[in-house]
Structure formats: C-alpha cells, structure tokens
C-alpha cells in the first residue's frame, strides 16, 4: 500500500515478492516471529501516515489511476484503496475462522 498511497516504497520487498510468487510457500519463506514483527512495523508506519493525513489528502487520487481516469471516477481515491484492503482482510479473516 505504501507506493499506491504515495508513502514511499514497500518496507519489505521480499514479502511482496513471496506473496506474488506461486512457487514459494509464504509460510516457509519467513519465521512466524519475523512476520509478526513486519506486521507490527508496517501497521505502525501506516497508522503514522494515516494520522497525519487531512480530509483532502484522503480524497486525492492514488498512484494506480491516471489523472484522466480520476477525473471521470473521483471515488477512486486513497480512502477507497484502504477500505477495499480492509474488506479483503475481512474476507481472509472469515476464511481463517472456518478452518479453526
């Protein structure tokens, strides 16, 4: 989310690479404690950025949409990206609940 929201580069490029490579099982690429620390670090940095954003900044276009398309579809803004990521996470939380 960092590049999409204009917060800089991914904090853990290796994590991104593993998640986008079907040949590597994510649970074998990292230790649980390492994943937990990455989660905490990324979450705290996102919260830091989110707390510093104004309403106008939330409503700006994200980096995955062109200026032209954003003029046609202004709802494709930064807040929309975060909402969709949260919905996606909720979906996976439901999946985890089913396998317990």
Q: What Å distances lie between residue 48 and 24, 41, 64, 99, CA to CA?
A: 31, 11, 22, 33
Is there a domain that residue 93 lies in? yes
To 5 degrees, how large is the angle CA 86–CA 75–CA 67?
Answer: 115
Q: Is the pTM here over 0.95, yes or no?
A: no
Q: Tell me, yes or no, whether 39 and 58 share the same domain.
A: no
User: pLDDT averaged over the chain?
Assistant: 92
Q: Tell me, yes or no, whether 48 and 58 share the same domain.
A: no
Last residue of a domain, one of 17, 32, 52: 52
Instruction: Compute the distance between CA of residue 79 and CA of residue 82 in angstroms, rounded to an integer.
Output: 5
Q: Give 19's pLDDT tier (boundaries 50, 70, 90).
A: confident
Instruction: Compute the distance between CA of residue 74 and CA of residue 61 in angstroms, rounded to an integer.
Output: 7
Q: Tell me, yes or no, whether 58 and 72 share the same domain.
A: yes
Beta partners for residue 61, in sequence order: 77
Q: Tell me, yes or no, whether 45 and 65 share the same domain.
A: no
Tens digit of each residue's pLDDT (9 = 90 or more) over 69-98: 999 999 999 999 999 999 999 998 999 899
């Amino acid at each position: 989310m960092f590049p999409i929201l204009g917060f800089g580069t991914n904090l853990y490029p290796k994590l991104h690479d593993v998640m986008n490579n079907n040949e590597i099982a994510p649970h074998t690429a990292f230790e649980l404690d390492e994943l937990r620390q990455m989660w905490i670090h990324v979450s705290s940095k996102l919260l830091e950025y989110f707390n510093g954003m104004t309403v106008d900044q939330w409503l700006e276009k994200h980096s995955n949409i062109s200026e032209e398309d954003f003029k046609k579809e202004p709802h494709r803004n930064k807040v929309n990206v975060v909402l969709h990521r949260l919905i996606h996470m909720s979906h996976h939380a439901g999946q985890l609940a089913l396998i317990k």
